[in-house]
């Protein structure tokens, strides 16, 4: 099983970053390897999600389960094909300056060595935690920069 993690300080609140990560249905808008996402079921802080990921000419469809603990943590898991095991954990911790320490940990093993070799070849460095966090950082900036600018302009009046 391959395990990697990334940690980053971002100038947004834990609630804002949690909301960006929890908005799974928007992933195809800003994560280039997501072709489609559909929430199959929502129940008491849990989501069952069907995802279609694309890597060049290959597509993989699988289902994950997400446990959401707003605004602190999101845990995602799957044992659906092509995974033997897939785990992803987002932790959002308030920072002293009002921002947030974000930590993303990903662990995965695929059902076959051939699938693992293909995934390594086609994914390259695209879907490693640091690259994933960078995509979410850009999305948060896109969503919240206008709100922050408006708030600052209102305070200056």
Q: What does the alpha-carbon distance between residue 87 and residue 61 come to, in Å, rounded to a whole number?
A: 16
Predicted confidence (pLDDT) per residue in 17-65, tens digit: 999 999 999 999 999 889 999 999 999 999 999 999 887 777 888 999 9
Mean pLDDT over 68-93 rounds to 93
Average pLDDT, the chain: 86
pLDDT at 151: 53
> Pick from 52, 60, 55: which is nearest to 112 by CA?
60
The superfamily (CATH) of domain 2-150 is START domain (3.30.530.20)
Higher pLDDT, 94 or 110: 94
Q: Under DSSP, is residue 14 helix (H, G, I), strand (E, B) or coil?
A: helix
Preceding amide of 8 cis, omega within 30: no
Phi, psi of 81 (to 5 degrees): -55, 135
Write out pLDDT tens, residues 77-88.
Answer: 998 887 888 899
Q: Which of 101-115, 116-130, 142-156 has maximum average pLDDT?
A: 101-115
């Amino acid at each position: 099983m391959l395990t990697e993690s990334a940690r980053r300080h971002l100038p947004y609140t834990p609630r804002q970053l949690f909301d960006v990560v929890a908005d799974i249905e928007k992933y195809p808008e800003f994560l280039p390897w997501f072709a489609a996402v559909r929430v199959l079921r929502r129940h008491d802080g849990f989501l069952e999600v069907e995802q279609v990921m694309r890597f060049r000419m290959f597509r993989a469809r699988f289902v994950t389960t997400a446990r959401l603990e707003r605004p602190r943590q999101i845990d995602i898991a799957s044992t659906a094909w092509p995974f033997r095991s897939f785990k992803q954990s987002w932790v959002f911790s308030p920072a002293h300056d009002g921002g947030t320490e974000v930590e993303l940990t990903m662990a995965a093993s695929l059902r076959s060595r051939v699938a693992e070799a293909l995934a390594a070849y086609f994914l390259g460095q695209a879907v490693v935690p640091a690259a994933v966090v960078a995509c979410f950082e850009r999305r948060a900036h896109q969503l919240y920069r206008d709100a922050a600018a408006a708030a600052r302009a209102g305070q200056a009046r």
